[in-house]
Structure 1
């Protein structure tokens, strides 16, 4: 019995050591929110792009794609593609839009386009064998990110949450849209979601092609090159864009640095639309400091009744009281899922992409967010914010403090697992 006990203790020690090693491998450092300046975000754009580990690229055109219109543009661009189509997504479920997209990609491959499709193995497990077969029989290359295999044992919680499409190396679609039927329509009822993406043309598309290449090479070992995928791109507009996507080992991810840093740069107002808003304590303090210096901070999230994952909303609720005490105004939309991942600062700069404002996006997932300096786009996004706020419920501090014990218990319980939700 003594020997058996020693063996069990040894095995338990080895298990603890393995968990510690895996945690150490995946650990990232917190960000110090100390970047403040009397200058506006326009003047500090090169600094913001630099600290967020991405290039600042001028000469682009950006078109906002709202709700189901995204798929009209996506399918149109795929039908007109002549050289290459690259698709990277987190969530693809069998359904009408999934079948239409698979058919469009198959047709593109048959007319000679190089079609590469990178799917998160967890989020796309319900893509449907029929859709995959349609694409692969036509010559599309389909790869899965971090499938369930021993080689990925330390990375199974790390998901590819990006939503990126690159057409002929000349245009990219970036945002929050998933390949699921609930993203069709115009958020007109409890079934259809609201979301935002952008179509981007200009020199920054070369960078976004490189973003796709990062995980494609990691999963397939294929390095692609040439004018079919990386053409010379002339300026297409006057918009400056800086992508944030890198996630260095042992350091903060670019999307985390980006979202945290701009809080300190705001001088007038911050507007956030995000489905999963769980800021870290340091970020909450930064919001409070922004309010104290006169910044109007407003946040729009879905209510538990509108969310696709009410557990996440309860986890978010755990920090609402502190946010409200800091002077942040919070609005909950009860009618459907608001899935857009958008932030605007001072009516001039916008962030749009795949990243939620939570630790899972900031520390675990692979994400892609575009920082965009364009007053007209920021105005459009603020108008969309106001549209949904018109039907949302503002949370009031005193009423929130009086919410029921069961509600508070759920908030605190689910917050314990917010990195996994």
Structure 2
């Protein structure tokens, strides 16, 4: 089922239950001002580091990255709004597109010895879904406990028999906020969806990002990859990004999974070693940031707005679904006005036409404000990434739209450091090379039919 069909299901239920419009985005200026006076602190697998080492780590980051406000202010803000620490000693590896991500996920499942925790928005009953199902059942058969959370709306097109087979094999299966109110184990919260994508193996490695479990991701987005392995069913290739992390920060992602399981009143989990002793695996500094509608404000939204506001040189965002609110638009144009290079890579087409045109409705104002807009060609863009000032990076499940910021459970990893950001920047450049720049003149000359679609779509922004 396409994103637009899923959203129409949600929209109808939302309108019918008069639940839309209840939540609002936070006053970011007030929150950021309140929190930015603090000092960033770092942790290892053994806990917080000394004040002396803390200062040395920050000094080294600034030495290699330049004297940037984003380091001082952004890290302190993230620390203040989230109880998830900045953790040292991790190895973060970029996974571009579905083939690389699935290979990493299959490897993690095959190598798991204690448990597998899988959380996903969509898991389809197609060849890819069946391969996951087979591997999970094989893991369960060899004594590895498999725990699966899937979203009820995201899985609306997946037969119940698919999940029943897993359950019969011993997999613990949990449906997130069932569409059927009679199946709800607490308040019926149809508007709250689990949009996270997490695979945690043995509490030692995590894979997260934008990739669901579906055949649409099996073809790579590069031209050569598409020639070698054309998209499934003759469709278009999907361009997405995931991240594999090994090291002490995996425990923070594990906490998020277990919190969701508990909040959804899942059955008691089998006794496994969910929090093993974790040794350093690399040099990456990572923070896990999870957002839910239960929070007083979206932690990821506030983090991103602050990161853009603290940027001094570059803001490079790549995102699949762009339906911004006023504060995000202002943060982008304010950054451009102070001389920051602001580049947005957005889709040239989408599986949701409403979202696509609702986003395009903001192009004129952004272009007038000095923001550079590019549309990715040759693939359906589904990635959700950012790299700012060549030192602050994030990969996750969060779109730049109201639904992600207000109604969804989302998860992102923030990675600090120039070495990882260099990889992110190279990936951004590859997407830029495959994109078409939208100039103010070309946008002013667009066909009337686009203008009409934009005008109509923007009125649905809060529901998309």
Structures share a fold, TM > 0.5?
yes
- Residues 311, 157 of structure 1: CA spacing in aligned structure 2 closer, same or farther, 3 A cutoff? same
Structure 1 residue 51, shift from structure 2 partner: 4.0
Residue aligned with 2:71, SS:
coil
Q: Which residue of 2 aligns with 1:48?
A: 77
Q: Which residue of 1 aligns with 2:259?
A: 214
Residue aligned with 1:368, SS:
strand
Residue aligned with 2:203, SS:
coil
Residue aligned with 1:232, SS:
coil
**How many aligned positions are there?**
401
How far apart, CA to CA, are the structure 1 residues paired with 2:203 and 2:26? 34
Query: Does 2:393 match 1:363?
Result: no
Q: Which residue of 1 aligns with 2:178?
A: 147
Query: Does 2:365 match 1:316?
Result: no
Deviation readout 1:22-68 (Å, 9 max, x if unpaired): 45864553422766998432333531322441322122111111111
What are structure 1's unaligned runs of at least 5 residues? Answer: 1-15
Query: Does 2:378 match 1:335?
Result: yes
The Cα RMSD (Å) is 2.3
How far apart, CA to CA, are the structure 2 residues paired with 1:167 and 1:413? 45
How far apart, CA to CA, are the structure 2 residues paired with 1:139 and 1:227? 14
Structure 1 residue 185, shift from structure 2 partner: 2.2
Q: Is the 8 A contact 1:26 1:249 kept in 2?
A: no
Q: Which residue of 1 aligns with 2:29?
A: 32
How far apart, CA to CA, are the structure 1 residues paired with 2:457 and 2:409? 23
Question: TM-score normalized by structure 1?
Answer: 0.89
Residue aligned with 2:351, SS:
coil
Of the candidates 391, 408, 413, which is equivalent to residue 348 of structure 1? 391
Structure 1 residue 285, shift from structure 2 partner: 1.5
Q: Is the 8 A contact 1:119 1:144 kept in 2?
A: yes
Structure 1 residue 180, shift from structure 2 partner: 0.6
Of the candidates 131, 134, 137, which is equivalent to residue 100 of structure 1? 131
Structure 1 residue 167, shift from structure 2 partner: 0.3
Q: Which residue of 2 aligns with 1:275?
A: 320
Residue aligned with 1:69, SS:
helix
Q: Which residue of 2 aligns with 1:177?
A: 211
- Residues 264, 208 of structure 1: CA spacing in aligned structure 2 closer, same or farther, 3 A cutoff? same
How far apart, CA to CA, are the structure 2 residues paired with 1:135 and 1:159? 22
Deviation readout 1:306-356 (Å, 9 max, x if unpaired): x21122110001111111111000001232211110000011110100000
Q: Which residue of 2 aligns with 1:202?
A: 247
Deviation readout 1:170-225 (Å, 9 max, x if unpaired): 11111111101111121236522111111111111111001111211122344658
Q: Is the 8 A contact 2:74 2:307 kept in 1?
A: no
Deviation readout 1:373-398 (Å, 9 max, x if unpaired): 13222222221221122232111112
- Residues 322, 417 of structure 1: CA spacing in aligned structure 2 closer, same or farther, 3 A cutoff? same
How far apart, CA to CA, are the structure 1 residues paired with 2:132 and 2:285? 30
How far apart, CA to CA, are the structure 2 residues paired with 1:301 and 1:385? 12
How far apart, CA to CA, are the structure 1 residues paired with 2:154 and 2:203? 26
How far apart, CA to CA, are the structure 2 residues paired with 1:178 and 1:71? 10
Question: TM-score normalized by structure 2?
Answer: 0.81
Q: Which residue of 2 aligns with 1:6?
A: none
Q: Which residue of 1 aligns with 2:151?
A: 120
How far apart, CA to CA, are the structure 1 residues paired with 2:365 and 2:188? 34
How far apart, CA to CA, are the structure 2 residues paired with 1:165 and 1:251? 27
Q: Is the 8 A contact 2:192 2:293 kept in 1?
A: no
How far apart, CA to CA, are the structure 2 residues paired with 1:24 and 1:294? 35
Residue aligned with 1:124, SS:
coil
- Residues 79, 249 of structure 1: CA spacing in aligned structure 2 closer, same or farther, 3 A cutoff? closer
How far apart, CA to CA, are the structure 1 residues paired with 2:310 and 2:422? 18
Q: Which residue of 1 aligns with 2:278?
A: 233
Q: Is the 8 A contact 1:120 1:159 kept in 2?
A: yes
- Residues 337, 70 of structure 1: CA spacing in aligned structure 2 closer, same or farther, 3 A cutoff? same
